[in-house]
A and B are shown apart, each in its own frame.
Chain A
Amino acid sequence: GDSVTQMEGPVTLSEEAFLTINCTYTATGYPSLFWYVQYPGEGLQLLLKATKADDKGSNKGFEATYRKETTSFHLEKGSVQVSDSAVYFCALSDRYSVNAGKSTFGDGTTLTVKP
């Protein structure tokens, strides 16, 4: 079945540091890939997405590129802020599978940014 593996956390950075959170996936089909963010006490928010190979999703300074050859979708940001402290989930959805519409989530990576 489909699966998503994220780098283990927690990750602690100083403000303005560079962020990378690794995500790799396995899927039988050709999935769409997503990053969701969950701030404390809230639901998940879609941060960015990519739907085909070499697509780059971007939002709020975050970027991730769909790499089919390495089955990866790593999240990056050039300069993090304290307000970026949250849990980040990598996810996929295979629209051509029998369970189209069902998303598979990674375990989440907790990011803490210190001033």
Chain B
Amino acid sequence: DTEVTQTPKHLVMGMTNKKSLKCEQHMGHRAMYWYKQKAKKPPELMFVYSYEKLSINESVPSRFSPECPNSSLLNLHLHALQPEDSALYLCASSSGTGNYEQYFGPGTRLTVT
């Protein structure tokens, strides 16, 4: 099973709301990633968890808060977002060793109003 699942598929939230994005993989991968993707652009790395520890934070604003409850799950907590945060949020996983090929989920389309 090479599937990464993400929920919800679409999310509309106001600037004062708190919401969470969820990601799950069952490939035994030990590295998980959050990316932000704007239209017609490559994905931009936000966070990397390696063996359930945050290993890379690409200077992401604190209104985005990642969490890795266990090796299969990754959450992204959202609070007080801005309209410019509207984008496709992609989760990915990799084995955590070797070649670091990544397996992506279908993404959550986020709109901030």
Contact = CB atoms under 8 A, between A and B. Distances in A.
Interface in B92-113: 92, 94, 96-107
Given A46-B103, A102-B45, A102-B56, 6 more contacts: A32-B99, A32-B101, A43-B6, A93-B101, A101-B56, A103-B102
A73 interface: no
Closest 7 pairs (CB-CB, A-B): A43-B104, A105-B42, A93-B100, A32-B99, A44-B104, A43-B106, A43-B107
B90 interface: yes
Contacts of A36: 102, 104
A114 interface: no
Interface of B: 4, 6, 31, 40-43, 45, 48, 50, 55-56, 90, 92, 94, 96-107
B48 A46 contact: no
Tell me what chain A mostly uses at the interface: helix, strand, loop, or mixed: strand
Interface in A24-49: 32, 34, 36, 42-46, 49
A32 B97 CA distance: 12
Q: Contact residue range for chain A? A: 20 to 34
Given A106-B42, A108-B40, A101 B50 contact: yes
A79 B103 CA distance: 26
Query: Quick one: which of A43, A95, A106 has the most chain B CB within 10 A?
Result: A43
